[in-house]
Structure 1
Amino acid sequence: MLPLQIELRNFLAYRAPPPISFAGIGLACLTGRNGVGKSSLLDAMTWALWGRARARRDEDLIHLGQDDMSVALDFEQAGLRYRVQRRRSRTSAGSRGALDFWVLGELGPRLINENNMRRTQAKINETLRLDYETFVHSAFLQQGRADAFTLKTAAERKRILSEILGLEQWANYESEAKTRLTTNAAVMELMQGELGHIDAEVKRAPQLQAELDSAQQALAAAQAELDQVSAAYDKVANSSLALRRENENLRELTSRIADRQSDIRAVSSEISRQQERIESCQQIITQSEEIKAGYAQLQAARNSQSALAEQLAQQQELQRRCHQLERELAEQAAALERDAHVIRERIRALQGAVSAAAEHDLADLQAQLASLESLAARRDQANRTVQALREERTALLAQQATLRSEGTAINERLERLGRADGATCPLCGGALTAQHRDDMLAQLQAQRDDMRQVYRDCNMALGEIDKRREAQERDLLLWAQRLRNMPGLQQRMGAASEHARRAQAAQADLQLERQSLQQLEARLQAENYGQELRRQLAQARAEQKRIGYDENSHDELRAKLKAYHRYDQEQTRLEFARQNLPEAQRAHAEATNRWRALQSAQAQDQAKQAQLQDSITALQEQVKLERELRDQVDQQRATVLAANERKTIAQQELLAIEAGRVNKERLEAQLGASRHQASLLSELRVAFGRDGVPAMIIDSAIPELETNANALLARMTEGRMSIALSTQRQRASGDMQETLDIAIADELGTRPYELYSGGEAFRINFALRIALSKLLAQRAGSQLRALFIDEGFGSQDEIGRASLVDAISAIRSDFDLILVITHIDDLRDSFPLHLLVEKTAEGTTVSWQ
Structure 2
Amino acid sequence: MIPKRLTIRNFLSYRDLTLDFSGLHVACICGPNGAGKSSLLEAIAWAVWGQSRVAAEDDIVYQGQVEATVDFVFTHSAQTYRVLRSRRRNQGSTLEFQVEAGDGFRVLTQRGMRATQQQILQHLKIDYDTFVNSAYLRQGRADEFMLKRPRDRKQVLADLLKLDHYDRLGEQAREQARDARAQVQLLETAVAGLTAQLQQRTAIAVAHTALEAELAAAETTAQDQQQQLSQLRHQQQQRQGWQQQLALEQQQLGPLEASVQRVSDDRVQIQQQMLQMQHLLDQAEAIGTGYQQFQQLQAEAAQQGLKFQTYQPAQAERSRLQQQTAAVLSQLQADGQAARQRLADLDAAEQEQQQILSQRQTIQEHLSQLQAARTRLRDLDQRQLRVAPLRQRQRQLQAQIERAEASLSARLEAIQQAQQRLQAQQTQQPELIQAAVEVTHRIDYLEQRRSYQEDVRQKGSERRGFMERLQADQRNYEAQMAQLDQKIQLLSAPEACCPLCDQPLDPPRWDRLLLRHRQERSEIQDRLWVIREQLTTSEREIQVLRREYRELETELAKYAPVLQQRGQLQARLDTVSDLQSRLHELTTERQQLTQCLADNRYAEDLQAELGQLEQQLEQLPYDDRDHALARSQVDRLRWAEVKQASLQQAERRLAQLQAQRTALEQQLAQIQAQLDGFASHPLQQQLAAVEAQIAALDYDLEQHQQLRLALDQARVWQASHQALAQAQQQQPGLHQRLDELDRRLGQRQQAQADVTARVAQLQQQLDANPDPQTALTQLEAQRQTDQAKREQQLAQLGRLQQQLAQFEQLQAQLDQQQQTLQQARRQQQVYQSLADAFGPNGIQALMIENLLPQLEAVANQILGRLSAHQLHVQFVTQRAGRSRHKLIDTLDILIADPQGTRAYETYSGGEAFRVNFAIRLALARLLAQRSGTALQMLIIDEGFGTQDQAGCDRLVAAINAIASDFACILTITHMPHFREAFQTRIDVCKTATGSQIEISG
TM-score using structure 1 length: 0.51
Distance apart, 1:805 and its partner CA: 1.5
Aligned mates of 1:740, 1:387 — CA distance in 2: 92
Q: Deviations over 1:33-69 (max 9, x none)?
A: 6665332211111222333334444444333543211
Pair 186,815 (structure 1): closer, same or farther in 2 beyond 3 Å: farther
Distance apart, 1:808 and its partner CA: 2.0
Pair 804,221 (structure 1): closer, same or farther in 2 beyond 3 Å: same
Confirm whether residue 684 of structure 1 aligns to residue 834 of structure 2: yes
SS state of the match for residue 218, structure 1?
helix
Distance apart, 1:733 and its partner CA: 13
Question: Is the CA contact (8 Å cut-off) linking 2:130 and 2:927 kept in structure 1?
Answer: no
Q: Which amino acid aligns with 2:86?
A: R
Q: What residue is the counterpart of 1:380 in the other structure?
A: 349
Pair 191,116 (structure 1): closer, same or farther in 2 beyond 3 Å: farther
**What aligned pairs does 1:372-771 form with structure 2 within 5 A after superposition?**
377-383=346-352, 462-466=639-643, 619=771, 622-644=772-794, 647=797, 672=822, 675-718=825-868, 723=873, 725=875, 740=891, 747=899, 750-751=902-903, 753=905, 757-771=908-922
Pair 835,201 (structure 1): closer, same or farther in 2 beyond 3 Å: same
Q: What residue is the counterpart of 2:51 in the other structure?
A: 52
Q: Which amino acid aligns with 1:214?
A: A
Distance apart, 1:381 and its partner CA: 2.0
Pair 58,760 (structure 1): closer, same or farther in 2 beyond 3 Å: farther
Q: Which amino acid aligns with 1:89?
A: R
Question: Is the CA contact (8 Å cut-off) linking 2:894 and 2:901 kept in structure 1?
Answer: no
Distance apart, 1:7 and its partner CA: 2.7
Confirm whether residue 174 of structure 1 aligns to residue 170 of structure 2: yes
Confirm whether residue 230 of structure 1 aligns to residue 226 of structure 2: yes
Q: What residue is the counterpart of 2:6 in the other structure?
A: 6
SS state of the match for residue 821, structure 1?
strand
Q: Which amino acid aligns with 1:165?
A: L
Aligned mates of 1:472, 1:81 — CA distance in 2: 63
Aligned mates of 2:117, 2:77 — CA distance in 1: 18
When the two structures are aligned, how many residues end up with a matched partner?
A: 547
The unaligned stretches of length 5 or more in structure 2 are 253-340, 394-631, 651-755
Question: Is the CA contact (8 Å cut-off) linking 1:77 and 1:783 kept in structure 2?
Answer: no
Confirm whether residue 844 of structure 1 aligns to residue 996 of structure 2: yes
SS state of the match for residue 683, structure 1?
helix
Pair 215,750 (structure 1): closer, same or farther in 2 beyond 3 Å: same
**What aligned pairs does 1:258-407 form with structure 2 within 5 A after superposition?**
377-383=346-352
Q: What residue is the counterpart of 2:953 in the other structure?
A: 802
Q: What residue is the counterpart of 2:560 in the other structure?
A: none
Question: Is the CA contact (8 Å cut-off) linking 1:137 and 1:149 kept in structure 2?
Answer: no
Q: What residue is the counterpart of 1:17 in the other structure?
A: 17
Aligned mates of 2:880, 2:97 — CA distance in 1: 49
Aligned mates of 1:101, 1:634 — CA distance in 2: 83
Pair 833,613 (structure 1): closer, same or farther in 2 beyond 3 Å: closer
Q: Which amino acid aligns with 2:840?
A: R
Distance apart, 1:131 and its partner CA: 4.5
SS state of the match for residue 225, structure 1?
helix
SS state of the match for residue 52, structure 2?
coil
SS state of the match for residue 221, structure 1?
helix
Aligned mates of 2:48, 2:879 — CA distance in 1: 38
Question: Is the CA contact (8 Å cut-off) linking 1:139 and 1:772 kept in structure 2?
Answer: no
The unaligned stretches of length 5 or more in structure 1 are 257-371, 420-454, 474-600
Aligned mates of 1:388, 1:626 — CA distance in 2: 128
Question: Is the CA contact (8 Å cut-off) linking 2:232 and 2:776 kept in structure 1?
Answer: yes
Q: Which amino acid aligns with 1:61?
A: I
Pair 634,155 (structure 1): closer, same or farther in 2 beyond 3 Å: farther
SS state of the match for residue 795, structure 1?
coil
Question: Is the CA contact (8 Å cut-off) linking 1:14 and 1:845 kept in structure 2?
Answer: no
Question: Is the CA contact (8 Å cut-off) linking 1:834 and 1:848 kept in structure 2?
Answer: yes
Q: What residue is the counterpart of 1:63 in the other structure?
A: 62
Aligned mates of 1:720, 1:247 — CA distance in 2: 125
Q: What residue is the counterpart of 2:578 in the other structure?
A: none
Of the structure 1 ranges 130-139 and 209-218, higher mean CA displacement relative to structure 2 is found in 130-139
Distance apart, 1:722 and its partner CA: 5.1
Pair 158,3 (structure 1): closer, same or farther in 2 beyond 3 Å: farther
Q: What residue is the counterpart of 1:777 in the other structure?
A: 928
Q: Deviations over 1:377-410 (max 9, x none)?
A: 55322446889999xx9xx99xx9xxx9xx99xx
Aligned mates of 2:867, 2:645 — CA distance in 1: 84
Question: Is the CA contact (8 Å cut-off) linking 2:6 and 2:70 kept in structure 1?
Answer: yes
SS state of the match for residue 935, structure 2?
coil
Aligned mates of 2:896, 2:113 — CA distance in 1: 47
SS state of the match for residue 66, structure 1?
coil
Question: Is the CA contact (8 Å cut-off) linking 1:250 and 1:613 kept in structure 2?
Answer: no
Q: Which amino acid aligns with 2:957?
A: D
Quick one: which of 76, 95, 98 aligns to 1:99?
Answer: 95
Of the structure 1 ranges 628-637 and 203-212, higher mean CA displacement relative to structure 2 is found in 203-212
Distance apart, 1:684 and its partner CA: 2.4
SS state of the match for residue 793, structure 1?
coil
Distance apart, 1:804 and its partner CA: 1.0
Q: Deviations over 1:89-142 (max 9, x none)?
A: 23xxx3522233445566975555565445654665566555545543443233
Q: What residue is the counterpart of 2:38 in the other structure?
A: 39
Q: Which amino acid aligns with 1:844?
A: Q
Question: Is the CA contact (8 Å cut-off) linking 1:28 and 1:819 kept in structure 2?
Answer: yes
TM-score using structure 2 length: 0.44
Question: Is the CA contact (8 Å cut-off) linking 2:134 and 2:928 kept in structure 1?
Answer: no
Aligned mates of 1:253, 1:667 — CA distance in 2: 73
Aligned mates of 1:642, 1:15 — CA distance in 2: 95
Question: Is the CA contact (8 Å cut-off) linking 2:13 and 2:36 kept in structure 1?
Answer: yes
Pair 190,380 (structure 1): closer, same or farther in 2 beyond 3 Å: same
Aligned mates of 1:713, 1:102 — CA distance in 2: 40
Aligned mates of 2:195, 2:108 — CA distance in 1: 60
Aligned mates of 2:965, 2:171 — CA distance in 1: 35
Q: Deviations over 1:197-216 (max 9, x none)?
A: 87677655544543442332
Distance apart, 1:250 and its partner CA: 11
Pair 80,825 (structure 1): closer, same or farther in 2 beyond 3 Å: same
Percent identical among aligned pairs is 32
Pair 816,689 (structure 1): closer, same or farther in 2 beyond 3 Å: farther
Q: Which amino acid aligns with 2:223?
A: D
Q: What residue is the counterpart of 2:971 in the other structure?
A: 820
Distance apart, 1:32 and its partner CA: 5.3
Distance apart, 1:157 and its partner CA: 4.8
Q: Which amino acid aligns with 2:11?
A: F
Aligned mates of 1:142, 1:195 — CA distance in 2: 63
Q: What residue is the counterpart of 2:71 in the other structure?
A: 72
Distance apart, 1:628 and its partner CA: 1.6
Confirm whether residue 213 of structure 1 aligns to residue 183 of structure 2: no
Of the structure 1 ranges 737-746 and 223-232, higher mean CA displacement relative to structure 2 is found in 737-746
Distance apart, 1:693 and its partner CA: 1.0
Distance apart, 1:790 and its partner CA: 2.2
Pair 164,7 (structure 1): closer, same or farther in 2 beyond 3 Å: same
Pair 728,46 (structure 1): closer, same or farther in 2 beyond 3 Å: farther
Question: Is the CA contact (8 Å cut-off) linking 2:10 and 2:62 kept in structure 1?
Answer: yes
Of the structure 1 ranges 455-464 and 739-748, higher mean CA displacement relative to structure 2 is found in 455-464
SS state of the match for residue 801, structure 1?
helix
Q: Deviations over 1:745-802 (max 9, x none)?
A: 765974564x755434433332231121122123343543322112523332110101
Question: Is the CA contact (8 Å cut-off) linking 1:382 and 1:472 kept in structure 2?
Answer: no
Question: Is the CA contact (8 Å cut-off) linking 2:130 and 2:928 kept in structure 1?
Answer: no
Aligned mates of 1:695, 1:608 — CA distance in 2: 105
Q: What residue is the counterpart of 2:944 in the other structure?
A: 793
